[in-house]
Amino acid sequence: MNLILLGAPGAGKGTQSERISAKYHIPAIATGDILRKAIGEGTELGKAAKSYMDAGKLVPDEVVIGIIKEYLSSDACKNGFILDGFPRSIPQAEALDAMGVHIDVVLSIEVADEKIVERMSGRRVCSCGASYHVVYNPPKTEGVCDKCGANLYIRADDAEETVKNRLKTFHAQTEPLKDYYASRGILVTVQGQEEVADTTALVFRALRPFEA
Ligand code: AMP
């Protein structure tokens, strides 16, 4: 299954992509995680991305398209993949088409803006890619990742003002992708629920028709 996850920042794409990845044994490619790692390591990629991410804006297309090309050409993706956070604009979707990448289904997780701002204040993440919420999806031990034992942290771009900018960016540049993929008949939508497990149940049900 070649899958794209769409949704506002904080809609739960990262969390659901972990669940989908575990169920279908396909890797998740999260451009945001890749960029944060590059920033942490101080690489050229990180330097190119940092100011945009701090402002809640999209990193330039050529940067993220380069990342996607590299990952999708790896063997790990040959039996399917989840794209979490890419494409985020029509030009990025067109670049994916131009690469000849076939997409089976685009799953959009819908959450109202008011909820997003509230949720982001409780988000805690790990450098391994795992994502938690202090109320809705807490780790077993406070502040510690269940998966790898590292300390959790608050993303710099989860500050309220930046979240508002990220939402504006989402509505202006990413949301039009819903029509782009709906016109091909491959868009499915689920309403993001408060409880992670409830959203996961809806997600699995929505994906069932696309199982190989
Ligand atoms: P995320 O972890 O998906 O919320 O992404 C965090 C930030 O990384 C975004 O606000 C953007 O600045 C940047 N980013 C991630 N994916 C992309 C993309 N496909 N295109 C442009 N910028 C991206």
Are residues 110 and 192 in contact, defined by beta-carbon separation less than 8 angstroms?
A: yes
What pTM, to 2 d.p., does this model score? 0.92
Cα of 59 from ligand 1 centre, angstroms: 7
pLDDT value for 20:
97
The answer to whether residue 208 is catalytic is no
pLDDT value for 118:
84
pLDDT value for 195:
87
Cβ of 64 closer than 6 Å to ligand 1, yes or no, is: yes
Pick out the chain residues at pLDDT < 70: none
The answer to whether residue 123 is catalytic is yes
Q: Which amino acid is at 170?
A: F
Cα of 184 from ligand 1 centre, angstroms: 25
Cα of 58 from ligand 1 centre, angstroms: 6
In the sheet where 81-84 sits, what is the strand order? Answer: 28-30, 81-84, 2-7, 105-110, 187-191
Max CA separation in the chain (angstroms): 45
Cβ of 12 closer than 6 Å to ligand 1, yes or no, is: no
Cβ of 8 closer than 6 Å to ligand 1, yes or no, is: no
Q: Look at ligand 1, atom 12, and give the residue with the nearest C-alpha.
A: 53
pLDDT value for 83:
97
Are residues 140 and 152 in contact, defined by beta-carbon separation less than 8 angstroms?
A: no
DSSP secondary structure string, 46-87? HHHHHHHHHHTPPPPHHHHHHHHHHHHTSGGGTT-EEEES--
